[in-house]
Amino acid sequence: RHRGAANGGAGPGFGRAAEPAPAVPQGLLRLARRSGQLNLAGRGLTHVPEHVWRINVDVPEEAQQNLSFNADDRWWEQTDLTKLILASNKLQSLSEDVQLLPALTMLDVHDNQLTSLPSALGQLENLQKLDVSHNKLRSLPEELLQLPHLRSLLLQHNELSLLPEGLGQLLTLEELDVSNNHLTAVPTSFALLVNLVRLNLACNQLKELPADLSAMKSLRQLDCTKNYLETVPSKLASMASLEQLYLRKNKLRSLPEFPSCKLLKELHAGENQIEILNAENLKQLSSLCVLELRDNKIKTVPEEITVLQKLERLDLANNDISRLPYTLGNLPQLKFLALEGNPLRTIRRDLLQKGTQELLKYLRSKIQDDGPGPDAEPPVTAMTLPSQSKVNIHAITTLKLLDYSDKQAAEIPEAVFDAVGTNPVATVNFSKNQLREIPSRLMELKDSVCDVSLGFNKISSISSELCVLHKLTHLDLRNNALTALPEEMEALKRLHTINLAFNRFKVFPSVLYRLPALETILLSNNQVGSIDPLQLKGMDKLGTLDLQNNDLLHVPPELGNCENLRSLLLEGNPFRTPRAAILAKGTAAVLEYLRSRIPT
């Protein structure tokens, strides 16, 4: 009977050989019979060969040709297949023959082109993990809801517009990811998933969450990033196990209340429309370590924020906060405080640049003295008279330095430039003023100037005139209001250090990729959302790239190929990987990790 079956199978076998789908090597199948695991990822398969589904049913081919077996080849002692990986192929469908593998505990078919799933999946009663993410699924078979031991169901990055109402029957489920679909609602039966630990609903079209979610007593992580939520049901506050809640990029106007969430450690609610921080709400979050509220419309921070004694990271960047409670300085665990992009009146911008510890020290020093101290910004005058300008002629002639910094001047007096005369000036420092544009007379120094500091001003755009400074090697534009750089800057062929920290860049300035001499790019505390690793790799000299506290949701693995980087700083961005533990190991470890993630 078996020989007949083998001969009968030869026809289709030869027919398939002509197709582009490569056959599965016999050696791999032999190994799978012994180990119970078969990995066919990334083999360009357009369909799964029938002998894979029948691996535990048919007599192996080699057994029909060779009737003397050593201990390794006793096929009748084979192990049932428990793990099948078919990821990253070109599969458009799965055969109902999947039911011939009843011992499967794990089936991974992510990154294919599946538009539907076979109903026979419902017969795999030992299945614990099913990964069908990154496909083109528009619906799920009802039979899927019969799997009695399913613990992990990964459905992210498909085309699902609704989930079966009976999904709550999967009582053993611990992890459910339906992010990046087209869902507009969540089945109320979700409430039955009492063993669910992680639920990811991010990047859908949800306008509300069912209050019944509060019945998920085991839920520790809930991700609702990038939906259309305007409120969060008050009943959710009774989720006693919740530790991480992601609500970024929604339409929330206020922070939800959490009276029972005593274990909540991370609350991410950036990029909403929150205007008020309610003191009562904060008092309930005694375990909170991370509070991320950047890019909202918060005007004041209540004194009660100091009850968050375990807080380690507080991100209030880009809000409308004009003053801070000085008692913030007393939070014992606070290691990271982001305040850039706020109209703070009592804290000078250069102090923000010095980092969290200096800022906290300053706040503590002000607790006693609650009036505006000596550090308050002096009044801005529209014009500073030449008699006050105090130009240091000695510095010009001996140090080649033109210094007119820290004067809070709205423009640089003509007398300052007149004082230069014919002396060559190498360094210009006009930082800490109220300049709204780059002084045009700076271009007069084009034959000698190589270092220009214009940090801590109010400059919102750069004139293309700057590009005549062909000897420029250092350019400091930190703490301004820049959103773009002129393309003409590619003329600055000698520029090797540029500081653009604390500005308003939403995209990485493309002209930087075309500056071959650049060794250092400081771009922290902006709103940059992505970088181009291929263009960065072309920057042979680049050794330092600081992108801390931006809006990077994803770090491209190809960045790992930029092996010239000696210092890559990525902390304070909303991406999930690499995790903080890897970032803490330093640049070499981060690059190595990224390289390991490059798809082969």
Q: Which domains does the chain have, with CATH numbers?
A: 36-59+76-159 (3.80.10.10), 279-366 (3.80.10.10), 393-596 (3.80.10.10)
Predicted local distance difference test score (pLDDT) of residue 1: 33
For residues 556 and 381, give the distance between their C-alpha atoms in angstroms, rounded to a whole number: 47
Give yes or no for a contact between 53 and 97, defined as CB atoms under 8 angstroms apart. Answer: yes
State the pLDDT at residue 71: 46
CB 418 within 8 A of CB 445: no
Structure tokens, 97: 């023959």
Determine contact, residues 62/30, Cβ cutoff 8 Å: yes
- Tens-place pLDDT, residues 452-489: 999 999 999 999 889 899 999 999 999 999 999 999 99
Residues with Cβ within 8 Å of 357's Cβ and at least 6 positions away in sequence, in order, are none
Taking residues 188-206, what's their average pLDDT?
A: 95
User: Reduced to 3 states, what is the DSSP secondary structure of residue 534?
Assistant: helix
Name beta bridge partners: 84: 38, 107
Phi–psi pair at 226, nearest 5 degrees: 55, 65
What pLDDT digit, counting tens, does each position of 268-317 carry? 999 999 998 887 778 778 889 999 999 999 999 998 888 899 999 999 99
This prediction's pTM: 0.59
Are 257 and 282 contacting, i.e. CB atoms less than 8 angstroms apart?
A: no
Q: How many CA atoms lie within 13 A of 347 on its CB side?
A: 29
d(CA 295, CA 319): 6
C-beta of residue 440 within 8 angstroms of C-beta of residue 463: yes
d(CA 335, CA 473): 34
Average pLDDT over the chain reads 87
8-state DSSP, 79: P
The set of residues, in sequence order, having a beta carbon less than 8 Å from that of 371 and lying 6+ positions away, is: none
For the record, the structure tokens of 202 come out as 């991010």
Distance linking the first and last C-alpha atoms of the chain:
43
What's 204's DSSP letter?
A: S
Q: Which residue has the higher pLDDT, 281 or 524?
A: 524
State the chain's maximal CA–CA distance in angstroms.
109
Taking 80 as the threshold, does the pLDDT of residue 414 lie above it? Answer: yes
Number of residues in the chain: 600
The SS3 assignment for 521 reads strand
What would the pLDDT profile of 348-407 be if each residue is shown by its tens digit? 777 877 888 888 888 888 875 544 333 333 333 333 333 334 677 878 887 889 999 988
Please give the pLDDT value at position 64: 56
State the amino acid at position 235 in one-letter form: K
DSSP 577: S
For 565, residues 6+ apart whose C-beta sits below 8 A from its C-beta are 542, 543, 544, 545, 587, 591
Is-contact 404 429, C-beta < 8 A?
A: yes
| pLDDT recorded at residue 348 | 79
Beta strands in 506-591 (DSSP E): 520-522, 544-546, 567-569
Looking at this protein, which amino acid is placed at residue 204? N
- C-alpha Rg value of the chain to the nearest Å: 31
User: Does the CA dihedral 61-66-70-74 come out positive or negative?
Assistant: positive
Answer yes or no: are the C-beta atoms of 257 and 235 closer than 8 Å.
Answer: no
**Which runs of consecutive H residues, i.e. helices, occur in 232-373?**
279-283, 349-353, 356-366
